[in-house]
Chains A and B, each alone.
Chain A
Amino acid sequence: MKGKRFLTRLAAVALAVALMLAFGLPAMAENYPDKPVSMIVTYSPGGATDFQARLVTMLASNDNYLGQPIVIINKPGAGGQVGWNWFIEKGSKDGYTLATYNVPHFIAQSIVYPTKYDINTFEPVGNWGADPAVLIVPKDSPFNSVKDLVAYAKQNPGKITLSGAGMYVGHHIAALQLMKAAGVKLTYIPEKGGVPAMQSVISGKVKAGFNNLSDSFRNQDRLKILAIADLERHEFLPKVPTLKEEGIDVDNSSVNYRGVVLPKGAPPAVIAKLSEVFPKMFADKKVKAKMKASGSPEKVMTRDQVIKMFKERQVYLEGLLAELKKKKK
């Protein structure tokens, strides 16, 4: 009868776990946190956001940070909309449910779609990373510079296919900016995530792509990296010029910022505590070393800096997406 007992026990454990997840008891803010904190990641396990989220929170249970572990919960779907909608609508507001954010993704989505979230519903507590988009072409591509690519696109409107991680993500924004600034028409191919988008470029299925600096950096033997969509060159790729240097007026609006937010309505004491602890934790030597080793560009920002960045992006993206939105309707 061993198997039966095993099954019953398994069932009991399963129920207990499910109940624990569903009805976490509210706790006082003074002792916060006195139990593990969960953090919603709106993308699937293994993606860059998930991987980095696990990495930067690995020290949370140290006493000088939270003293409690952070448990990652993946809620992927519709480019992050499923997770963020859930977080605002159904997540607990007691400070024990956090979420990761990706800028410009969530801001662009809140402009284009009827989402439950926008910059006013999130209380940022810290930013850990900034992954700029880089313009890549296959190794054997005839394009050796941004100029080559733009010149070809001018002659052949819409003939250049350009892949990216999906609709209204940083790569898409970068593509829109490039088209607008250079006055060319490219065909944007939205893929299911950065990895398939990268693969399409490596194997020459598309003529170009915007992709994460981190992933492109790791694949630089199999790609040509033409430019970076940021204000300055990056330490990982010192030889790659910015689009601005190449004469294309594109700023850093497409840079993929990653960080942590609380929902609006969370206790002010919790917001204050996390805003103090998280930037410090992200800047910990151990975290920095792991981020660097894995080729993930780190950028630590405080709550105030993030709020300012959110606002700037909101204004810019509203302008950029206004035309697109009109066309859709």
Chain B
Amino acid sequence: MVDFITYFPQALTPINLLVLVLGVIGGLFLGATPGLSPTMAVALLVPFTFHMEPATGLVLLGAVYTATVAGGAISAILINIPGAPANIATLLDGHPMAKQGQAQKALYYCFISSLVGGLFGMAMMIFFTPPLAEISMEFGPSEMFWIAVFGISVMAGLTSGSVLKGLIGGMFGLLVSVIGYSPMLATPRFVFHDVLTGGVAIVPALIGLFAIPQVFSLMESSQKVASDVEFKPQKGILMKTIKENLRHVKALSIGSVVGSIIGVIPGAGGQVAGLIAYDQVRKFSKNPQSFGTGNPEGVAVAESANNAMVGPSLIPLLTLSVPGSPTAAVLLGGLLIHGLFPGPDLFREHAAVTYTFIASLVLAQIAMCVFGILMSRYSHSVMKVPDLEMAAAVTVLAIFGTYSVQNSFDDVVVMFALGTIMYIGRKVGFSAAPVVLGIILGAIAEDNFLKGKLIADTDVGVMVYFFTGSLNLIIIALCAASVGYSVFSEVRQYKKAKARARAKEAGS
């Protein structure tokens, strides 16, 4: 901590500040482009840092990482395509808000909550690095498997309406996730066409599931009379929104805490932090039905969670040289190029550079919020775009974003195929979020189960391996609680609805 304050001013040199601001503004735009995930944005910029001072290069990478994570929310809210998997939860309430003419407010909510979560995450990183590093190493195959199961248990709650449809959608996602070569034995599975050799990558699936049904429904609605919602810049709502936003203490704190915890777990990735936190807030809410229809609390929890993850996700990288997320792996490259080997030495021998980097991450959170809010003022113009033009723009963005992930047209085909299936699914009441969650978590669950089984077979056996150990038991208990609560609330709602119907009958 003392070191942190000592080296803080180094982040404030003119050149570092300039790089920081440019990185943040650029990062917001990159993040807002679907398909350009934080990992990709940082990877694109690593070569630029070859010729910079180590500290300046890291400031740039840190600023871009922070800003792209938040920037993904812009497209989620305005055009219903999450910029990265981490923004799925943001879209659930953010886009409905935008449709009701509150895009600007939704974006304010998004950036203010991002700032709160981001600063919380950074604080966790600055104060608790050693203990958190140890916790992160506790997660082995069995713990990771249960974490994935916990994520799957959240799935049921994500569809407003039907638990059953949420589960079916999730199962479909799990099935999609096993396409391609099996992780352990490299046997090809469900590879009906060359296009599927590499499996279904997450970002193309994400874009297809959200953007394509969106395009189709935009084309449908364009035949009808334009909606009477007026999209104009909302003046003077900034202070009001800040006050209102900070009053959602519960949503912000659940988001920040869940995001930080998940950030520390290597491999789980922030992809699911937002959704898990979102589900918790919804469960604890007095009127869970309002989620998914434009409840600002939903945006607050989702965005605070996925920015809280940024700081802690770097802990395993900086202390143990084990990058906990794909983005951290790319950052590792950025460190190595300057001869900075992560590990305890980083804080001892290269303290100046390391702490400048950490300080810049804190500053980047603040800059991200300021510039994000400035950009939000122009959001109404996106909402004013006529439906047909919007459909065209979204299609181009979807193809561009999908193609750019692996420079593969096969992905574009997969994206359209999944999107078309989802469009039909949406007509009969399925939603996209559980499917995406299934695709993300299926791979984690399968991989870790098989790995755990291989290890367990040489040792204590599968049952003992997966069902003992305090961390395993805690996560299993969380799974049980999550499923139990879903069933309980379903039954309660069913009873309520029945009672209401009876009262109605009695009344009439």
B379: A residues at CB distance < 8 A: 3
With A10-B397, A293-B339, A295-B341 given, is the CB distance from A46 to B323 under 8 Å? yes
With A4-B384, A294-B337 given, is the CB distance from A167 to B185 under 8 Å? yes
**B333-A77 in contact (CB<8A):** no
**What 0/1 pattern do residues 79 to 102 of A give for CB contact below 8 A with B?**
101100110000000000000000
A121: B residues at CB distance < 8 A: none
With A4-B382, A45-B40, A189-B454 given, is the CB distance from A203 to B140 under 8 Å? yes
**A206-B455 in contact (CB<8A):** yes
The residue from B140, B458, B459 contacting A200, defined by CB atoms under 8 A apart = B140
Q: Residue B234 at the A interface, CB < 8 A?
A: no
Subset of 25 A-B contacts with CB under 8 Å: A3-B379, A4-B382, A4-B384, A7-B393, A10-B397, A11-B397, A17-B400, A45-B39, A45-B326, A46-B331, A50-B333, A58-B50, A75-B406, A76-B198, A78-B180, A85-B197, A161-B455, A161-B458, A167-B186, A189-B455, A202-B320, A205-B141, A293-B338, A295-B336, A295-B341
The smallest beta-carbon distance between A95 and chain B, in angstroms, is 18
Q: Residue A222 at the B interface, CB < 8 A?
A: yes
**A168-B407 in contact (CB<8A):** no
The residue from B184, B201, B330, B458 contacting A46, defined by CB atoms under 8 A apart = B330
With A189-B451, A205-B141 given, is the CB distance from A44 to B326 under 8 Å? yes
**A46-B381 in contact (CB<8A):** no
Q: Residue A187 at the B interface, CB < 8 A?
A: yes
With A203-B137, A205-B455 given, is the CB distance from A78 to B322 under 8 Å? no
A315: B residues at CB distance < 8 A: none
Chain B contributes a number of interface residues (CB within 8 A of A) equal to: 68
Q: Residue B172 at the A interface, CB < 8 A?
A: no
Interface hits, A252-282 → B, CB 8 Å: none
Q: Residue A219 at the B interface, CB < 8 A?
A: yes
User: Which of the listed residues A7, A167, A221, A293 has the most CB atoms from chain B within 10 Å of its own CB?
Assistant: A7
Q: Residue A311 at the B interface, CB < 8 A?
A: no
Q: Residue B7 at the A interface, CB < 8 A?
A: no
The smallest beta-carbon distance between B197 and chain A, in angstroms, is 6
**A190-B184 in contact (CB<8A):** yes
**B329-A82 in contact (CB<8A):** no
**A192-B183 in contact (CB<8A):** yes
Interface hits, A1-52 → B, CB 8 Å: 1-4, 7-8, 10-11, 14-15, 17-18, 21, 44-47, 50-51
Nearest CB in chain A to that of B134: its residue: A203
Nearest CB in chain A to that of B330: its residue: A46
The residue from A58, A195, A221 contacting B343, defined by CB atoms under 8 A apart = A221
**A294-B181 in contact (CB<8A):** no
The smallest beta-carbon distance between A82 and chain B, in angstroms, is 4
B336: A residues at CB distance < 8 A: 51, 293-296
**Additional 10 contacts, C-beta under 8 A, given A1-B384, A160-B458, A218-B321:** A3-B378, A15-B400, A45-B39, A74-B407, A82-B406, A189-B451, A192-B183, A192-B447, A218-B341, A293-B336
Q: Residue A141 at the B interface, CB < 8 A?
A: no
Q: Residue A144 at the B interface, CB < 8 A?
A: no
**What 0/1 pattern do residues 189 to 208 of A give for CB contact below 8 A with B?**
11110011011101101100
A290: B residues at CB distance < 8 A: 50, 337
The smallest beta-carbon distance between B480 and chain A, in angstroms, is 25
The residue from B40, B343, B378 contacting A219, defined by CB atoms under 8 A apart = B343
